[in-house]
Amino acid sequence: MSGLLGRGALVNWGGVLADSEADYNAWHSLQHMPERLSVPGFRRGRRCVAVDGTPGHLKYFMMYEAVDAQVFVSEPYLKRLNDPTPWTQRILSVYVTPSRTVCNVSHTRGCGTGGWLVTLQWGMGAAAAPGAQEAAAWIEPVMALPGIIGAHVLEGDATLGQQPTVEKKYRESRGEPDRTVRLAFLIDGLDRDTTQAAQDFVLSRLAPDTRAACVPTLFRTQHVLCNTDTGHG
């Protein structure tokens, strides 16, 4: 089982103003993912929505998988970031607490994408964040749990993807700068209960300070799109 489709990932957690959610979902599915997947090196995009009761700034999770992390600072991609469409400008202007991190895929195992996803994230400043090798040791026991089809370790790179692009200006226009993550552990599952159980399993294995620094979130997958779906394979 190969897991994620490359060694680079761009991960985003965040929310949008409530009256813009339908517009946001249409934009992300019909324009943003197809546009991004036309950039050389992009392989797959996905959008997930959190379960009821999740704080609004964590309601959506968006991720792009790429050949490697350098794709997210490549000239074709930066050209996109500096020439956003009017629809993109409108949507980015209603983001709430944006989070955007270019990551290296440290370890990955899986078989496609699940209908449910858990993200465990540690912020860039979290002193108690686990290392990539420590997190990699969770993959095998998590994959042995019922209903789990993927587990992935992402290491945030604070040196990539922080250029003052036009899109960044719109995304931060509400006064909140992009947050970044130091490490994320993702779990793909087939249904809500088994995916939630996998999250609880990992949290139960963490040292108290590491668990306290973790932001766990359970999502339902809304849309997955590959570059081959858009004719850019």
Residue 111 has pLDDT above 80, yes or no: yes
Residue 1 has pLDDT above 70, yes or no: no
Would you place residue 170 in the very low, low, confident or very high pLDDT band (cuts 50, 70, 90)? Answer: very high
Measure the CA–CA gap between 57 and 142, rounded to whole angstroms.
Answer: 27
Residue 62 has pLDDT above 70, yes or no: yes
Mean pLDDT of 54-65: 96
Q: Is residue 3 part of a domain?
A: no
Would you place residue 81 in the very low, low, confident or very high pLDDT band (cuts 50, 70, 90)? Answer: very high
Domain that holds residue 45: 8-227
Element (H, E) at 225: strand 215-226
Position 50 scores a pLDDT of 98
Q: Is residue 161 part of a domain?
A: yes
pTM: 0.96
Q: Is residue 232 part of a domain?
A: no
The count of domains in the chain is 1
Mean pLDDT of the chain: 96
Q: Partners of 119 in the beta sheet?
A: 186, 217
Mean pLDDT of 170-177: 90
Q: Is residue 132 part of a domain?
A: yes
Would you place residue 158 in the very low, low, confident or very high pLDDT band (cuts 50, 70, 90)? Answer: confident
Q: Is residue 154 part of a domain?
A: yes
Q: Partners of 107 in the beta sheet?
A: 153
pLDDT in tens, 186-232: 999 999 999 999 999 999 999 999 999 999 999 999 999 999 998 88
The alpha helices in the chain, defined as continuous H runs, are: 21-27, 33-36, 75-81, 86-92, 132-136, 139-143, 166-171, 192-204, 208-212
Q: Is residue 108 part of a domain?
A: yes
Q: Is residue 72 part of a domain?
A: yes
User: What's the CATH number where 216 sits?
Assistant: 3.30.70.100
Degrees, nearest 5: CA angle 152-196-189? 50
Position 204 scores a pLDDT of 97
Q: Is residue 2 part of a domain?
A: no
Residue 138 has pLDDT above 80, yes or no: yes
